[in-house]
Amino acid sequence: MQIQSRESQNLRLPKYVNRITRSDYYFIHHSAGPITQTVQQIQNFHMGYERDWSDIAYSHLVNWKGQIFEGRGWGVVGGSTKGYNSRSHSVCYIGNTEIADITDEAKASILWLVDQHEAIYGNRNVQPHRLYSNTGTLCPGKGMFAWWKAGLHSPDSVGYVPRESWPLVNTDPTFTILGQGDDGIEVVKLQQMLKNLGYDTAVDGDFGPKTSQAVSAYQGELYRAGIYNGVVDGIWGPKSANSHNEAQKLSVEFNEDGGAKIEAAYKEYLGRSATSSELSSWVESLVVAKIDSVISFIKNSDEAKAKDTKLASFKIQNIYTDQLGRAATQKDVAYWLNKVQSSEYTWGGVRSFLATSDEAVNRNDKVVEFKIASIFLDILKRKASSDDIVYWMTKIKSGEYTWEDFTRFLKNSDEAKFFADTNPGPPPASQTPDDILTRLAEIQALIEKYDAAIDSAEQHLVELDQAFRELEAQVGARNG
């Protein structure tokens, strides 16, 4: 085994270096990115503005071919496992073992590094990152974690069987993973297949950038079709091959029924018609083979989410205008979007909350005046004077006092205490509880009347919006 030095990789100099002579743990990680990531890219991310670390986090890194790269190296404090960096070393597999198995070549290299750790520091205490982190990380991914649980068997160990549930476990011993820099007859076969599918690539046996772009494009189409769920990375491996074989087994003949369903999904979730190029793209991406997958993709697309968010924001603004007589702030919109989209509140719930809020009540002088009078009657057992009304209306409408503050003030006033001691009788006959209930019923009837008018106006707005979209589609079709 050979470790490629920092110098050979053109890595940046660390901001500073701290040394260690003791190492009680050897942590295993995965980069959670595509296998095409370079050590330079990972170092730039770790030392960039988002992380701003002193250097790349790991002691060493291993790629899918089993090549070993020096990170911080032996005897240097790491940055990969918070709380343990000053007494540990680490290795990172460049790839994402949540969605793909770690290769046998990489396993062999990692085990060699474990041997080196044991020779230098006297232990083989290999541990997965997730068990020593309080962030909820899945690192090093289910592939490496399962390998660790199984005892870190070497690839050729007796009894080591890869989990059948991992779709990237290679079942074809003659198959070779192909990436940039590879050449030969297997590359020729791949290039010819891509060319037959309509991709722009030469058939020369040299896996270069154009072949990688063609593979990425095909992976993307298989992903959109719901057939491929791996990483779109331009590397042709078992998962890409298996997805291709599945696609070939499915009928890709475009039919009117499939086109109608796609068009209906565009109108329902995006509020517009699909363009001819979009329909062609879906056909070329084999989407009619799994129509449910494409409908789900459209429904959950960024465009659909943006449309829903825009309409929801518009509705929140309308409710604020209706109930509070003002526009909702960005903070208001963000707050209620979260409440509605999480299903904590319905639209009716939002309206009811705002309609009964202090801000809504305070908009109406008559309602504020009545509420002040009612609280005076309830606590002090007397009518509020005109001076009382003016004073407390000013305090409440200015926000200096909330209704809770006002009620608490009256309850703790000397007048309330004196009345409780000397005259714990019923309220004056001129303002009985029945009078209050009658007035409250009148106010509730007015609120219901306003709500009905608002609902009618909202329905009218929806109809206008639909008519506008239909007109826009007609204009677009005429211009097209």
User: Which H helix or E strand runs over 92?
Assistant: strand 88-93
pLDDT at 29: 95
Q: Where are the beta strands (DSSP E) in 1-74?
A: 3-4, 25-30, 60-62, 68-70
User: Over 50: is that where the pLDDT of 195 sits?
Assistant: yes
What is the rounded average pLDDT of the residues 432-451? 69
pLDDT at 293: 67
- Give the pairing of strands 68-70 and 3-4: parallel
User: Over 60: is that where the pLDDT of 166 sits?
Assistant: no
pLDDT at 432: 62
pLDDT at 288: 37
For 3-149, CATH gives 3.40.80.10
Residue 94 · residue 41 · CB < 8 Å: no
| CA–CA separation, 238 and 375 (whole Å) | 76
> Hey, what's the torsion of the CAs at 109, 110, 111, 117, to 10 degrees?
120
Every domain of the chain and the residues it spans:
3-149, 185-249, 256-300, 303-356, 361-431
- Total residue length of the chain: 480
pLDDT at 466: 80
pLDDT at 419: 64
Q: Residue 382 carries which DSSP code?
A: S
Least confident of 129-138, 249-258, 411-420: 249-258
Residue 51 structure tokens:
């992380």
- Give the pairing of strands 126-128 and 25-30: parallel
If DSSP codes are grouped into helix, strand and coil, which group holds residue 101? Answer: coil
Do the domains 185-249 and 3-149 match in fold? no
Query: How far from 321 is each of 344, 355, 424, 454, CA to CA, in Å?
Result: 22, 11, 44, 11
β-strand partners of 68: 3, 62
What is the rounded average pLDDT of the residues 23-31? 93
What is the rounded average pLDDT of the residues 261-267? 81
What is the rounded average pLDDT of the residues 46-55? 85
Q: Looking at the structure, give the CATH architecture of the domain made up of residues 185-249.
A: Orthogonal Bundle (1.10)
If DSSP codes are grouped into helix, strand and coil, which group holds residue 41? Answer: helix
What's 209-232 look like in SS3? HHHHHHHHHHHHHHHHCCCCCCCC
Using pLDDT thresholds of 50, 70 and 90, give the confidence band for residue 157: very low
pTM assigned to the model = 0.37
Alpha helix segments (H runs only) across 289-402 = 291-299, 302-324, 330-341, 347-355, 358-363, 365-380, 386-397
User: Over 90: is that where the pLDDT of 471 sits?
Assistant: no
| CA–CA separation, 416 and 406 (whole Å) | 13
| CA–CA separation, 13 and 460 (whole Å) | 65
| CA–CA separation, 431 and 88 (whole Å) | 79
β-strand partners of 88: 25
pLDDT at 140: 93
CA angle 12, 233, 230 (to 5 degrees): 125
Q: Note the pLDDT tens digit of each residue in 305-345.
A: 666 777 788 888 888 887 787 888 989 988 988 887 777 88
> How much of the chain, in percent, has pLDDT values that exceed 70?
81
| CA–CA separation, 125 and 148 (whole Å) | 11
